[in-house]
Structure 1
Amino acid sequence: MDEMKDAVKRKLSFAQTMRAVLWSFIGLRKGAEHERDMARLNPVHVVIAGLIAAAVFIAILVVIVRLVVSQAAA
């Protein structure tokens, strides 16, 4: 239980966590940066940032599909 409390008190801000998650989505992370961030990322922030990034990604895909379908129908 103490490990979880310590993990939540980690130092990176939500914006820094979001940046780390977005780079991970793209797959352009250096191993050293990944290891450094894993020691400092707040797991709650990682989950929230992952959900936001996934929702934005799905929304972008939906918009692209709608644009392509409307172009094909015209």
Structure 2
Amino acid sequence: MKKVKIETEYIKLDQLLKFSGVLSTGGQGKILIKQGYVKLNGEIITERGKKIKKGDEIEIKDMGKILVI
């Protein structure tokens, strides 16, 4: 599990996927989110602008997990 530290109150889901280095472009994140391959705290999320906060766990199908700290 990759840990990503944020300094703000929240970060948008698509920004987090790119910022974490798991994906190389925001476009990749947009596609994965739209296709239902991304989970937020165990639930599939299709809203790319979803606010992600400290303590949230993101799972990308076949790519791993990200814990926001």
Between Structure 1 and Structure 2, the one with more strand by share is 2
For normalisation by structure 2, the TM-score amounts to 0.24
Flag the structure with larger Rg: 1
Normalising by structure 1, report the TM-score: 0.24
